[in-house]
Amino acid sequence: MSTATLDAAPSDADAIESFTVTLIIRRFDPDVDDEPRWQDFDVEMFATDRILDALHKIKWEQDGSLTFRRSCAHGICGSDAMRINGRNRLACKTLIKDLDISKPIYVEAIKGLPLEKDLIVDMEPFFASYREVQPFLQARTMPGAGKERVQSVVDRARFDDTTKCILCAACTSSCPVFWTDGQYFGPAAIVNAHRFIFDSRDDEAKVRLDILGGKDGVWRCRTTFNCTEACPRGIQVTQAIAEVKSALMRGTA
């Protein structure tokens, strides 16, 4: 057996301390509920467990109807962004030890996108604005035959931060401007536009700047830094938005 836990009953001396953690989860079943409701669950957790483990424990042992998205469970697929104790986090990157477990932990779906069931929201509006900024390389020149497009280390570093985005929607769904009417592109779309606007191999920065310079573009950003704080990848989102603004001011990337 490769897993060392659970099989051999550990002696009391070296037993790892576990805690009873109360999770209060905002449930919503569209077939039954008119309004979302809060439901609490007690789970036995270790300090090194994650909120995702707690959700699994609930789903596997207590209530199989609990619905949430997760895929890789290691903070890279961006499926399990949720609002944990009022902050947008990835459930798979939030450790029990980092939360105050003397109080219940509140878990709910991210805000600003249509709630579908329990912790699942409709991500389509989010991806629609992502698609709108043309997040793909558009080069007018061809690399030499058999060659790749060469980019200097400095040119690559220019947009390094925004390549880290995993499209989890934690930033966009933490943005108060996005909450209000959903017309705003949202931080994630701007981050992904930034990634190509400042890419030396890309030639269509002007097109993306035109898109983002419009009525629902970057000028609606109120620099509240919610997005930077929410980003599980540590992207300086507000700074990226400000860089797009100043590119618009200069008229060129």
The site for another protein (CB under 8 A) is made up of 138, 177, 180-181, 204, 206-207, 210-211, 213-215, 217, 219-220, 245, 248-249
Question: Which CB atom, from 94 or from 173, has the smaller least distance to another protein?
Answer: 173
Under 8 Å between Cβ of 233 and 164: yes
Under 8 Å between Cβ of 130 and 192: yes
3-state helix, strand, coil in the chain (%, to 5): 35, 15, 50
Residue 196: helix, strand or coil by DSSP?
A: helix
Rounded least distance, CB 253 to another protein, Å: 14
Q: Which amino acid is at 146?
A: G
Question: Which CB atom, from 91 or from 209, has the smaller least distance to another protein?
Answer: 209
Question: Which CB atom, from 8 or from 249, has the smaller least distance to another protein?
Answer: 249
Rounded least distance, CB 180 to another protein, Å: 4
Strand partners, 25: 39, 107
Residue with tokens 């900024």: 133
Question: Which CB atom, from 127 or from 179, has the smaller least distance to another protein?
Answer: 179
Question: Which CB atom, from 18 or from 180, has the smaller least distance to another protein?
Answer: 180
Question: Which CB atom, from 60 or from 136, has the smaller least distance to another protein?
Answer: 136
The residue count for the chain: 253
Under 8 Å between Cβ of 91 and 68: yes
- The two tokens of residue 42 are 């007690």
Rounded least distance, CB 240 to another protein, Å: 17
Give the separation between CA 59 and CA 20, rounded to whole angstroms: 16
- The two tokens of residue 146 are 């058999």
- The two tokens of residue 53 are 């483990």
Under 8 Å between Cβ of 172 and 187: yes
Rounded least distance, CB 199 to another protein, Å: 16
Question: Which CB atom, from 74 or from 206, has the smaller least distance to another protein?
Answer: 206
Rounded least distance, CB 68 to another protein, Å: 30
Rounded least distance, CB 179 to another protein, Å: 9
Give the separation between CA 186 and CA 128, rounded to whole angstroms: 11
Rounded least distance, CB 181 to another protein, Å: 7
